[in-house]
Structure 1
Amino acid sequence: NGGFYVDPEAKLLFIIRIRGINAVGPKTRKILQLLRLRQIFNGVFLKVNKATINMLHRVEPYVTYGYPNLKSVKELIYKRGYGKLDKQRIALTDNSIVEQALGKYNIICVEDLIHEILTVGPHFREANNFLWPFQLKAPLGGLKKKRNHYVEGGDAGNREDYINQL
C-alpha cells in the first residue's frame, strides 16, 4: 500500500575510546567510567536506548562507535574476548567458563554469548557485564584525526557500519 521498507533501527552499538583523559570535564569522565571505557582503545558493546544515546552525546568527542555486524562481533569475542569470573579477567578459552558464569541464564557456550549480544536478547545486560571491556590495538596506519567528528573526516563520533572496518 505504497509504504517504504525501512531497515529496523540498529539495537547494538560497539564503542571504542580514542582519546585520553586530559582536560575532560567531571561529568564526561564519569560517563566514560560508567561505559567501562577507562583506557584508550577499550571497546564495549552497548544497547541502544534513550539513556545510552544521551550519554553518547556527552562523550562523543572521546569515542567512536557504530553498529557491528555478526562477523565483527564473532571475531571480537573469539579473538579478544575475556570473561569476568569472581572479579578476575579470564580468557574465553572454552565453553565451561561461559557456562559457569551465565549458565543460569541459559547461555552455555560462546556461540550463545555471541547470539545474546548480537540480538540484544533478554539477558544482554548479564552477558555484556560478563564480558570484560575489549582491549584493542590501535588501527594500522593510525587514526586520521582524533579531534574531528567522523563526518568532518575525523575519527570521533558515529561511524555506523564502518565500525566493522576499524
Structure 2
Amino acid sequence: MARTSVPTQNDIAVPESVLKKQKAHQKTTDSQAADLKKKRQASREKRKVIAERAQKYNQEYLKAQRDVIDAKRAAKKDNSLFIPAESRLVFVVRIKGINKIDPKKRKTLQLLRLLQINNGVFVRLTKATSEMLKIVEPFVAYGYPNHKTVRELIYKRGYLKVNKQRLPITDNELIEENLGKFGVTCIEDIVHEIFTVGPNFKQVSNALWPFKLSSPTGGFRTRKFKHFIEGGDLGNREQFINQLVRQMN
C-alpha cells in the first residue's frame, strides 16, 4: 500500500500579502530596536553630564563655604570683624489666614503667590520685595534658607506648573521640556538656580508651584500674633527659617 506524504510548511505557498506584512513588521521591529538603543545611549550620556554638573555645583558650594571661613579667620587674626554679604534669597511661608485683612495686604499676598496657609515660595530679595514683605509681615514667616533647605524642599515638595497644572517632578525630561530654553535641564540645575539666585531665577521660581507644607511638628510657639524677636512666629527669622522648614517639610 502506497504511503501518502504529509505536506510540510515549505511546500505551502505563502500569500504575497502575508509576506509583505511580515516584512513590514520586521522592519518596524528593527526600527524600534534601533530607536530604543539610541535613546538608551542618549540617556546614559545625559546622566553622565548631569552627574558632572552636580559635582561642579558641589565644589562651588564648598568653595563658597571655605571662602567665608578663611575670611573670618583672617579678620580674627587682624583683630577685625568680618561681616558676610547679605543673602539675596529668602523663603517665605504664610502662617495666618485672611480674617480681618485689608485689600492691600491681600493683594500683596496674591502677588507673592501665597494664597493658602502653609504655602511657601522662594523670593529674590530686592528693594521692591523687601517692601512687600514688610506689608505682609503680620501673616508670614521668612528668612534665609541654606543649601540643604533649598535642596530638600525641591526634591521632596517640588512641583512644576505646566499649562496651569500641578505636576510632580518625576524625571528630568519634564524639566528639560519646560525649562530647557533657560539652560535648566535637571533638578540639580533648579536647585543651583534658586540657591545662587541665578540669571533665570524669576523664570525657574515661577515655574515651581508654591510649596505646600505641613503644620510644624509640635505647633507654633504662640498664637502667631507676636513677632519672632518677641518670642512669636511672625516676620524675619533670618537663618532660623531652616529649622521651621524642617519642622514643616
Where on the TM-score scale, by shorter chain, does this alignment land: which range? over 0.9
Instruction: Quote the residue 1:132 is aligned against.
Output: 209
Matches within 5 A, 1:140-155: 140-145=217-222, 146-155=224-233
Deviation of 1:97 after TM superposition, in Å, equals 1.1
**SS in structure 1 at match of 2:184:** coil
Task: Indicate whether 1:109 and 2:186 are aligned.
Answer: yes
More helix by share: 2
**Structure of higher CA gyration radius:** 2
Unmatched tracts of structure 2, length 5 or more:
1-77, 245-249
List per-residue Cα deviations over 1:140-162 (Å, max 9, x = no partner). 11111200000000000000001
Q: Deviations over 1:79-125 (max 9, x none)?
A: 00000111110001111111111100000000000000000000000
Report the Cα distance in structure 2 between the residues aligned to 1:86 and 1:98, rounded to whole angstroms.
14
CA distance in 1, matches of 2:116, 2:171: 27
Identical counterparts, % of pairs: 56
Tell me the distance in 1 between the aligned counterparts of 2:167 and 2:173: 12
CA distance in structure 2 between the partners assigned to 1:4 and 1:123 by the alignment? 34
Summarize the alignment of residues 3-152 of structure 1 with structure 2, pairs less than 5 Å apart: 4-145=81-222, 146-152=224-230
TM-score normalised to structure 1 length: 0.97
- Between Structure 1 and Structure 2, the one with more strand by share is 1
Equivalence for 1:161: 239
- Divergent runs of 4+, >2 A: 1-5
* Distance of 1:71 and 1:90 partners within structure 2: 23
2:105 & 2:163 partners in 1: Cα distance?
29
- TM-score (normalised: structure 2): 0.65
Partner SS state of residue 239, structure 2: helix
SS for the counterpart of 2:241 is helix
Q: What is the RMSD computed on CA atoms of the aligned residues? A: 1.1
How big is each residue's C-alpha offset from its partner over 1:9-45, in whole Å with a ceiling of 9 and x where there is no partner? 1010000000000100000000000000000000000
AA at the equivalent of 2:87: A
